[in-house]
Amino acid sequence: MSAVIEIEGLRKTFHGPYRSRHVAVDGFDLLVGRGEIHGFLGPNGSGKTTTLRALLGLVRADSGRMRLFGEDVPRAQARVAARVGAIVETPQFFGNFTGHRTLRLLALAGGVPTRRVDEVLAQVGLLDRGEDDVRGYSLGMRQRLAVASALLKEPELLILDEPANGLDPAGIREMRDLMRSLADAGVTVLLSSHILGEIQLICDHVTIVSAGRRVAAGPVAEVLAGHDQHEWLVRVPEPDRAAELLRAAGLAVDERPEHLVVGGVSDAGEVSRLLGEQGLWVRELVPLRPDLESVFLKLTDGGVRDEEAGA
């Protein structure tokens, strides 16, 4: 699979007043293959938005290499721009412009046929509100408008920074369906989001960033498997005695109020056998598989803001 986005060793430092410096991105790597829906996760201040801005030519990197569709950017930015649709954070629109006019002006500036405006408004479910002023839009509607603006030029790569911001559950679901239909149509999607469950549902690949560095990357299933502790939730009639027995057999046991968490064993039958031999019949035995949230929290020091963690 050819790479649509390649970032190697990206570094960006922001300089503040009184010679203060903040390293936003510190040797970050990212690889996004064609046709992927790629989740981009990290706590606030971890360098996600700076990375996206650098990729779009809005921020100058100090060092590192970035390529879009195999072409070095920002040098080839103008050449590849037509193939990239993007929203970075929640874009602000002029309140007294209608949604339709907002998109029409972008289409004009980008040389896109203005007939696309109605098409993308329909795609994001805003066609019937297209002639309303943007000031009357909810946060979710503005977010849809932003996504519509990114879709105008029928991009091959869609970069979306927190597209679900402000959306209600139904809106999030619609957005998920939209992403999926775009991916089915061959569009590569790079999705930055804090809604980890959403990323797990929609993305096939993921990159996790913390303090400006990549801490995990790969297919979602592989990243999760890499953090599988082989833990099991166990419910038995005499939990104290069961815990003693399992510990004696060399297993790690964490006693919780309602159940035990048993780790260090890959075969559930082993747990069942050890307890059954002593007359303790297991009522419930459930594997505890890691989800993206637990992996994210583990890799990013509990998901605290990197600015705070570094402070």
CB nearer to other proteins: give 45 or 57: 57
With contact defined as beta carbons under 8 Å apart, do 180 and 201 qualify?
no
Least distance (Å) from other proteins to the CB of residue 71?
12
Residue 185 neighbours by CB distance under 10 Å:
9
CB nearer to other proteins: give 149 or 188: 149
What letter represents residue 94's amino acid?
F
Least distance (Å) from other proteins to the CB of residue 67?
15
CB nearer to other proteins: give 94 or 281: 94
Least distance (Å) from other proteins to the CB of residue 242?
56
**Beta-strand pair 3-15/63-68:** antiparallel
Is residue 236 exposed (0-12), middle (13-18) or buried (19+ Cβ within 10 Å)? buried
CA distance 142 to 133: 11
CA distance 136 to 226: 47
Least distance (Å) from other proteins to the CB of residue 205?
23
**Token pair for 109:** 């500036």
Beta-bridged to residue 205, according to DSSP, are 38, 219
Which residues of the shown chain bind other proteins in the complex (CB under 8 A)?
A: 14, 53, 56-60, 74, 77-78, 81, 84, 86, 88-89, 91-94, 96-97, 101, 104-106, 108-111, 149, 153
Least distance (Å) from other proteins to the CB of residue 98?
10
Q: Which residues contact 150 (CB under 8 A, 6 or more apart)?
A: 85, 86, 87, 158, 159, 160
Least distance (Å) from other proteins to the CB of residue 84?
8
Residue 160, CA distances (Å) to 17, 27, 53, 267 in order: 31, 22, 11, 41
CB nearer to other proteins: give 48 or 53: 53
Least distance (Å) from other proteins to the CB of residue 73?
9
**Token pair for 102:** 């907002």
Residue 66 backbone class (left: φ over 0; alpha: ψ -120 to 50; beta: rest): beta
Least distance (Å) from other proteins to the CB of residue 92?
4
